[in-house]
């Protein structure tokens, strides 16, 4: 792999077009709301906008900090642009990226890993679009023909996927995996028993931030000790 081409041509082009496509994505997302409010005059009161914004931030605001930091080493620069533009980050793009790199035998975070990650994510987006198109056209009819037990089992699909991704990384770092589980369960216990109720809004964002950055900090300590040993 030509490292000079990767750093001086490939990545600068990726960043250039990544910024352009992300800006276009933002415009596209806000476009319908702007048309409805400006052209048709259907504007909700400011108080409702503020209340909705605060409610949404309390639920998912932590992901704006956590996801770019925690997923970047797996996705790479090109994969990060693709992922955050297409969505389905944790349930599709990250697993596809990690599996593609593992199958190709490349190191995550390396230049080769970044290229393989991009290919894996790009393929997942194409497959995703095809499946979503089929689902949008015939999804209800297909699901309606499924046995009731099978439909109920679909509720466990996302937790199973998260568990599989966690297991994939925990196998290589079992100590860190144990620490991450302990931190996550401890923070969930604190939230469910009201110890985090003094935080504004729904304190689930506190659980996410502590679990993610606590695991990162623990991983740094464990890795440092392994180097010393």
Instruction: Say whether 10 sits in a helix, a strand or coil.
Output: helix
pLDDT at 229 over 70: no
What is residue 21's predicted lDDT score, i.e. its pLDDT?
94
Q: Is 18 part of any domain?
A: yes
Q: Is 22 part of any domain?
A: yes
Rounded distance between C-alpha atoms, residue 81 and residue 79, angstroms: 5
- Given 3-state DSSP classes, what are the helix, strand and coil percentages for the chain, each rounded to the nearest 5? 85, 0, 15
Residue 21: give the domain boundaries: 1-43
**Is 77 within 8 Å of 97 (Cβ atoms)?**
no
* Mean pLDDT along residues 61-71: 82
Q: Is 200 part of any domain?
A: no
Q: Which residues contact 102 (CB under 8 A, 6 or more apart)?
A: 168
Q: Is 11 part of any domain?
A: yes
- Report pLDDT digits (tens) over 131-182: 878 877 776 777 777 788 887 887 887 788 778 878 877 887 888 889 989 9
Q: Is 1 part of any domain?
A: yes
**In the numeric block, which tokens belong to residue 106?**
């490349």
Q: Is 175 part of any domain?
A: no
Total domain count, the chain = 1
Q: Is 8 part of any domain?
A: yes
**Is 68 within 8 Å of 80 (Cβ atoms)?**
yes
């Amino acid at each position: 792999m030509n490292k000079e081409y990767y750093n001086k041509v490939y990545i600068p082009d990726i960043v250039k077009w990544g910024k352009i496509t992300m800006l276009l994505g933002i415009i596209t997302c806000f476009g319908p709301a702007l048309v409805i409010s400006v052209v048709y005059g259907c504007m909700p009161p400011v108080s409702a906008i503020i209340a909705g914004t605060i409610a949404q931030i309390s639920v998912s605001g932590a992901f704006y900090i956590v996801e770019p930091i925690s997923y970047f080493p797996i996705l790479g620069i090109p994969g990060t642009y693709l992922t955050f533009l297409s969505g389905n980050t944790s349930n599709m793009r990250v697993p596809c990226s990690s599996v593609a790199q593992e199958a190709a035998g490349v190191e995550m975070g390396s230049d080769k890993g970044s290229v393989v990650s991009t290919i894996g994510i790009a393929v997942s987006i194409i497959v995703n679009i095809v499946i979503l198109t089929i689902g949008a056209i015939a999804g209800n009819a297909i699901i309606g023909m499924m046995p009731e037990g099978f439909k109920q089992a679909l509720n466990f699909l996302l937790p199973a996927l998260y568990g599989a991704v966690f297991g994939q990384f925990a196998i290589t770092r079992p100590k860190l995996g144990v620490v991450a589980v302990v931190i996550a369960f401890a923070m969930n216990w604190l939230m469910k028993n009201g110890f985090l109720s003094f935080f504004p809004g729904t304190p689930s964002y506190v659980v996410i931030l502590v679990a993610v950055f606590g695991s990162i900090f623990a991983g740094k300590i464990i890795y440092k000790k392994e180097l010393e040993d």
